[in-house]
Chain A
Amino acid sequence: MPEDFQARVIGVIAQTQRIPIETVSIDSTFEELKIDSLDGINLIFALENEFNVDIPDEDARDVKSVRQMAQGVARLLAAKAQGAA
């Protein structure tokens, strides 16, 4: 994943959770960041708006870390780009 993309995902997570950006890394787990299931769904909502993608419910449920989340969004963006091409 490109670093600027990772940084954008981390920025959205930090802002949505109202936590300092330096506390979030690509390797952070949701547990470490005290992100519970409702927070997780709220993050998905924020990322859907940031990247203009629709994240399906089934995918949303299993996300437990920043990396998983970034990878999921990257996959959807790639699929969207392919669809547009």
Chain B
Amino acid sequence: MRRVAVTGIGVISALGPDRESFAAALAAGTSGIRPMQSVEPGTVRFSNAAEALGYRVLDHFEEKDTLFLDRFAQFAAVAAREAIRDAALEWSADLRARTAIVTGTSAGGQTSQDENMRDLYERKQTRFSPFTIPKIMSNAGASRISFEQGISGPVYTISTACASATHAIGQAFWMIRSGAVECAIAGGSDAPFSPGMLKAWEGMRVVSPDTCRPFSKDRKGLILGEGAAMLVMEPLEHAQARGAHIYGEIAGLGMSSDAHHITQPLPEGASRALAAALADARIAPEAIGYINAHGTGTPANDPTESAAIRSVFGAHESKLMVSSTKSMHGHALGAAGAIEAAATLLALSRGVIPPTANYLGPDPACDLDVVPNTSRAVGVEWALSNSFAFGGLNAVLAFRRL
């Protein structure tokens, strides 16, 4: 089986418009959580969010493109452009035909659909644009990248709520490893800030009234985020032969389902995904130095995730660093796994472990080294990135520094 290297990373998030602003904010422990701008104050009970505030669509797209590109698809294309520039591959016609694109999204074009429903029910508009369906479909981001970049291999989209991008990256990794494709662009994007989407989140009562403090005492919930991250992956041999800059290796994917409940997580499900990722990468738990946690900051997730980590790592747990970068870039839903994969790869390649920001003090139910508030300059060889979705769907990626 072939080994798989990551040679390009693109990120747009609340931490900035590109990979380097993202890396700098993570290293500095700066949170991108701010008062929410995209809806009228008072629309929902919570008032803070991790929005991509500096983003202006016309900096990236022709005005006509915006008619059929929802914000989530725009983010996907913007992150893919950066990742592809970064990888600096030579795109032969053959390579384009043997490159895959796998994207994850949870909400897809639902913010556009929310606006359409206002047109229909509130403004009594009787005609819809022919671009409505192409704008709201969940594969719009993947398709945009495909025709914008002329990439014509397998292209598809995975929607597993908050694990979408991790499943997507894992699928692309397995396709390269098996030889099914020669190259892949994979990641995720989401842009959930519309009144209808926010009311739905308010109804679940999981959004924090202040900020996101994963694993901390006095944590009050998650903070919604938006953005995208895309990775360019290729066979390690190919990357080395062309002298490419390599962020790290994707070495394992573990997946499981809790088979339990639509929202309540089960530690055993998460444990099985963690163990499966280690087995797929053929490494022992003791090799892992850092875990980028799912770490939503909700009362339910963090103790469950802590229990799962303890059960897999046993005594080694005390030597593990576990941080949740959602404390800085928010919970970007279907993009979360990709943004966090990018954070993990940057941590490995640059030797800076990002912190859990906004941390106030320990919660005995989350007894881990969560790298509170300040990043650490530590070289780590192996790391994991966790994603545990509503619906009980778990995905874990294993990364190695090269």
Identify the A interface with B (CB < 8 A). Answer: 36-38, 41, 44-45, 56-58, 60-61
Q: Is the CB of A57 within 8 A of B263?
A: no
Q: B300 to chain A: which residues have CB within 8 Å?
A: 37
Q: Give the distance to chain B from A42, nearest Cβ to Cβ, in Å.
A: 9
Task: Give 24 A-B contacts (CB < 8 Å), ordered by A residue.
Answer: A36-B261, A36-B264, A37-B263, A37-B264, A37-B300, A38-B261, A38-B262, A38-B263, A38-B264, A41-B203, A41-B204, A41-B205, A44-B205, A45-B203, A56-B45, A57-B45, A57-B205, A57-B209, A57-B220, A57-B221, A58-B220, A60-B205, A61-B205, A61-B299
Using a CB-CB cutoff of 8 Å, which residues 173-225 of chain B contact chain A?
203-205, 209, 220-221
User: Smallest CB-CB separation from B261: which chain A residue?
Assistant: A36
Whole-angstrom distance between the alpha carbons of A41 and B263 in the complex?
Answer: 12
Chain B 138-181 interface 0/1 with A at a Cβ cutoff of 8 Å (1 = within): 00000000000000000000000000000000000000000000
Whole-angstrom distance between the alpha carbons of A37 and B261 in the complex?
Answer: 11
Q: B221 to chain A: which residues have CB within 8 Å?
A: 57
User: Smallest CB-CB separation from A48: which chain B residue?
Assistant: B203
Q: Give the distance to chain A from B135, nearest Cβ to Cβ, in Å.
A: 30
Chain A facing B: main interface SS: helix
Q: Give the distance to chain B from A54, nearest Cβ to Cβ, in Å.
A: 8
Whole-angstrom distance between the alpha carbons of A38 and B260 in the complex?
Answer: 13
Q: Give the distance to chain B from A43, nearest Cβ to Cβ, in Å.
A: 12
Using a CB-CB cutoff of 8 Å, which residues 227-286 of chain B contact chain A?
261-264
Whole-angstrom distance between the alpha carbons of A41 and B207 in the complex?
Answer: 13
With A41-B204, A45-B203, A61-B299 known, 14 other A-B pairs at CB within 8 A are A36-B261, A36-B264, A38-B261, A38-B262, A38-B263, A38-B264, A41-B203, A56-B45, A57-B45, A57-B205, A57-B209, A58-B220, A60-B205, A61-B205
Whole-angstrom distance between the alpha carbons of A43 and B22 in the complex?
Answer: 41
Whole-angstrom distance between the alpha carbons of A38 and B264 in the complex?
Answer: 8
Whole-angstrom distance between the alpha carbons of A17 and B221 in the complex?
Answer: 26
Q: A36 to chain B: which residues have CB within 8 Å?
A: 261, 264
Q: A44 to chain B: which residues have CB within 8 Å?
A: 205
User: Smallest CB-CB separation from A56: which chain B residue?
Assistant: B45
Whole-angstrom distance between the alpha carbons of A45 and B394 in the complex?
Answer: 28
Leading 3 A-B pairs by shortest Cβ distance: A57-B205, A38-B263, A41-B205
Interface centre among A36, A57, A58, A60 (most CB of B within 10 A): A57
Whole-angstrom distance between the alpha carbons of A58 and B208 in the complex?
Answer: 10
